[in-house]
Amino acid sequence: MKIETLCVGPIDVNCSVVYCEEHKSAIIVDPGDSSARIIKFVEDNGLKPGMVVVTHCHADHTGAVAKIVEHFGVPFLCHVGDEWMIDNPEQREMSKYLGLKPPPKNDSTVADGEVLDICEDFSLKVIHTPGHTPGGICLLGNGILLAGDTLFKTSIGRSDLTGGNHDALIKSIRERLFVLPDETVVCPGHGDATTIGYEKAHNPFLRQTEGYS
């Protein structure tokens, strides 16, 4: 499994193209902006995307979904807890403000523990991590965690935006992510990569709540 992270557009969202180099099958995660750049990468590498998945339905993570699903003819998936946000007036207004296209209605949903197959050898496991949004998810495969806006390098996702809940976010990180091996690489929705072990030791938001020293 290979992951190409494309930090796209002025909103600096990390879009991840997860693919199998042998079979060329792929999943596109969090296409927030710059659909042309994402499409070019996929086509230049001869990839065959099977779906578009978002870690949550805030406007900055869904801005390029419509163009990509139309171009490739693939389904758009999100967690059921975030479906309501697709038509949420606040998020639609945010899309307009950012100069992005609102996402289409999702074709299906993903659930906690579900496995998204990339090819016969590789897959991504869905981990439901509510807090940043009710339907926020992370995707885990081959020791790499696509964390969306749940966990960042020495920071955490905001909980003062649409659907946010700070206590739920801390609980998600503590009970769903910090149980992963320390060497798990964390690729967040914005900014630089980190590891679970590094965040246990250095994340000030979690050290305060977990008693790490």
For residue 140, the domain's CATH number is: 3.60.15.10
Contact 79, 139 (CB under 8 A): no
User: Which amino acid is located at 80 in the chain?
Assistant: V
The tally of domains found in the chain comes to 1
Q: Count of residues for the chain?
A: 213
Rounded Cα gap, residues 157 and 164, in angstroms: 9
Helices (H), 19-119: 35-44, 59-62, 65-72, 89-98
**Given the DSSP bridges, would you call strands 144-148 and 137-141 parallel, antiparallel or unpaired?**
antiparallel
Which residues are paired to 184 by β-bridges? none
Rounded Cα gap, residues 65 and 80, in angstroms: 17
Rounded Cα gap, residues 178 and 95, in angstroms: 32
Contacts of residue 183, Cβ cutoff 8 Å, sequence gap at least 6: 143, 195, 196, 197
Contacts of residue 51, Cβ cutoff 8 Å, sequence gap at least 6: 27, 28, 74, 75, 76, 77, 116
Contact 182, 41 (CB under 8 A): no
Rounded Cα gap, residues 24 and 42, in angstroms: 10
Which residues are paired to 125 by β-bridges? 115, 140
Q: What does residue 195 show for φ and ψ, rounded to 5 degrees?
A: -135, 160
Whole-prediction pTM value?
Answer: 0.94
Expressed as residue numbers, the domain containing 22 is 2-210
Q: What does residue 209 show for φ and ψ, rounded to 5 degrees?
A: -95, -20
Rounded Cα gap, residues 104 and 111, in angstroms: 20
The series of mean pLDDT values per 10 residues for the chain, 213 residues long, is 79 93 96 94 97 97 96 98 95 91 96 96 96 98 97 97 95 98 97 97 80 43
pLDDT at residue 12, as a whole number: 86
User: Which amino acid is located at 200 in the chain?
Assistant: K
Q: What does residue 172 show for φ and ψ, rounded to 5 degrees?
A: -60, -45
